[in-house]
Chain A
Amino acid sequence: MTLVPTASSTVGPYLHIGLTPLQVYDIAKDASKGEKIVISGRVFDGEGQPVPDALLEFWQANADGKYATPEDSQDKPLDGKFTGFGRIPTDKEGRFSFTTVKPGAVPGPGNTLQAPHILVCVFMRGMLKHLYTRIYFSDEAAANANDPVLGLIEDASRKPTLIGERTAGKAEYRWDIRMQGEGETVFFDC
């Protein structure tokens, strides 16, 4: 039996009613391992205006590079109740900020190793289907250079849109999303 998957639609302007009751700002809450970090940024539309009605979801491995789901069959330890899932709306200025632990490396296609990264799923009013993008880390330059997914981006000038920039002397990263124009964030078709 083959069915047609249900069509996607926009979260609309009142997304907060449906999607913030289970919001998660502190992914690190249940983590016992790994470096605690804060990632902050803003979401901008094609006119450079902040997007106040977006929602971001994050998904990442724990510090050992293991995802907290039976779908991950790697022989690596789980970290207690750490889920690796976050969900936050943007504020009136399009800002977002969340706390997590830096994920470990996970396997990629074939025998490759993926650099530490966080999957980001982007929803907003005006968007009929969510978008996938990723956050990598500026202090992982060697791993990023060998990452099989970053390697798919032919225009090297676009790669920095996926790299969270570490603030000197702090466990904080800055990462923005730009929907269009100069510095348009790389989004993936997967």
Chain B
Amino acid sequence: MSDLIGYKRPAPGTQPNYLHAPYQSSIKRAPNKPLIRMPQTLTELTGPVYGHERVGPLDNDLTKQHAGEPLGERMILSGRLLDENGRPVPHSLIEIWQANACGRYPHPGDQHDAPLDPNFTGYGRTVTDSEGRYRFVTIKPGAYPWRNHHNAWRPQHIHFSLFGPSFMTRLVTQMYFPGDPLLPFDPIFNCVTDQRARDSMVSKFDFETTIPEFALGYAWDIVLRGRDATPMENKK
């Protein structure tokens, strides 16, 4: 299997540790024993192929899934899915989920005293195009309280799930908004010690994709693990 090219390992501090005590739920759910280091085999270097057949034309518009329009600030969220070598990741599934404009999820576990919106589920999916681009129309999610510590509030965020070409590129993350005053206080955001890596979870306001008289644009590129050696690197 010498023809297999593996994926790079993350630089120190750029990914969270399993145990991050300020995030209390991690304490009883992080492995205590060290992980067993193993080579990436054919199993890890492959993964499911999702085609457009699983994605409907309106699945990336979270404002059009019900009879009426959801309340809240409409927004366009777009960007590119890349690997760490800067190459686009085409035809790859992206799933997102988020709270409504009031900071409430339609989920039996969410007991926050804020209204549900009958016109908003908060789930969308899409497949990146041939240049790794994606686009969603949604509303800006609200901040909401959680019980991690006294007066704990989650910053506004959207959950993202991504596959890329193999199980080594699998990623679930959260996207945040620029200038959110709650970011410095959020143990989940701050579990990443490397500032550049932490800030890579924050989207940018984007005039280019803002649509006059309709919606603000936000841009966010997502970067998956890249292969150890690529033709692109050899060109340097």
| A77 is an interface residue with CB less than 8 A from chain B | no
* Contact between chains at B121 and A70 (CB < 8 Å): no
* Contact between chains at B47 and A71 (CB < 8 Å): yes
A-B contact pairs, 18 of them (CB 8 A): A3-B82, A5-B171, A5-B223, A5-B224, A12-B159, A13-B107, A17-B123, A18-B96, A22-B95, A49-B28, A59-B48, A71-B165, A119-B43, A127-B18, A128-B20, A128-B188, A131-B18, A180-B28
Closest chain B residue, CB of each to CB of A151: B38
- State which residues 1-18 of A face B: CB under 8 Å: 1-18
- Contact with B222, one of A6, A72, A186 (Cβ below 8 angstroms): A6
Give the distance to chain A from B24, nearest Cβ to Cβ, in Å.
8
* Contact between chains at A179 and B28 (CB < 8 Å): yes
What is the size, in residues, of chain B's interface with A at 8 Å between Cβ atoms? 79
* Contact between chains at A1 and B85 (CB < 8 Å): yes
> Assuming the A-B contacts A5-B84, A7-B198, A8-B172, are A45 and B28 also in contact, with contact meaning beta carbons closer than 8 angstroms in the complex?
yes
Closest chain B residue, CB of each to CB of A108: B41
Give the distance to chain A from B116, nearest Cβ to Cβ, in Å.
12
Closest chain A residue, CB of each to CB of B2: A110
Could you tell me the distance between the alpha carbons of A13 and B104 in the complex, rounded to whole angstroms? Answer: 12
- State which residues 32-61 of A face B: CB under 8 Å: 45-47, 49, 51, 53, 57, 59-61
Chain B facing A: main interface SS = loop
Could you tell me the distance between the alpha carbons of A70 and B45 in the complex, rounded to whole angstroms? Answer: 11
Q: Which residues of B contact A189 (CB under 8 A)?
A: 35-38
* A-binding residues in B (CB < 8 A): 1, 3, 10-11, 14-18, 20, 23, 25-33, 35-49, 54, 82-86, 95-97, 105-107, 109-110, 121-123, 125, 159, 161, 165-168, 170-174, 188, 191-192, 194, 196-198, 200-201, 222-226, 232
* Contact between chains at B125 and A21 (CB < 8 Å): yes
* Contact between chains at A17 and B1 (CB < 8 Å): no
Q: Which residues of A contact B15 (CB under 8 A)?
A: 5, 7-8, 129
Q: Which residues of B contact A18 (CB under 8 A)?
A: 95-97, 123, 159, 161
- State which residues 161-190 of A face B: CB under 8 Å: 179-181, 184-190
Give the distance to chain A from B221, nearest Cβ to Cβ, in Å.
8
Closest chain B residue, CB of each to CB of A109: B39
| A144 is an interface residue with CB less than 8 A from chain B | no
Closest chain B residue, CB of each to CB of A107: B1
Give the distance to chain A from B180, nearest Cβ to Cβ, in Å.
15
Give the distance to chain B from A70, nearest Cβ to Cβ, in Å.
7
| A102 is an interface residue with CB less than 8 A from chain B | no
- Contact with A7, one of B41, B42, B197 (Cβ below 8 angstroms): B197
* Contact between chains at A190 and B39 (CB < 8 Å): yes
Q: Which residues of B contact A123 (CB under 8 A)?
A: 172
* B-binding residues in A (CB < 8 A): 1-19, 21-22, 45-47, 49, 51, 53, 57, 59-61, 67-74, 83-85, 106-110, 114, 117, 119, 121, 123-132, 134, 148-149, 152-153, 158, 179-181, 184-190
Q: Which residues of B contact A21 (CB under 8 A)?
A: 95, 123, 125
Q: Which residues of B contact A67 (CB under 8 A)?
A: 42-43, 46
Closest chain B residue, CB of each to CB of A149: B38
Give the distance to chain B from A66, nearest Cβ to Cβ, in Å.
10
* Contact between chains at A109 and B1 (CB < 8 Å): yes
* Contact between chains at A84 and B109 (CB < 8 Å): no
Give the distance to chain A from B23, nearest Cβ to Cβ, in Å.
7
- Contact with B37, one of A5, A9, A85, A190 (Cβ below 8 angstroms): A190
Q: Which residues of B contact A132 (CB under 8 A)?
A: 44, 167
Q: Which residues of B contact A70 (CB under 8 A)?
A: 49
> Assuming the A-B contacts A7-B197, A128-B26, A128-B188, are A14 and B97 also in contact, with contact meaning beta carbons closer than 8 angstroms in the complex?
yes
Q: Which residues of B contact A188 (CB under 8 A)?
A: 35-38
Q: Which residues of B contact A47 (CB under 8 A)?
A: 28
Closest chain B residue, CB of each to CB of A188: B38
Q: Which residues of B contact A61 (CB under 8 A)?
A: 43
Q: Which residues of B contact A45 (CB under 8 A)?
A: 28-29
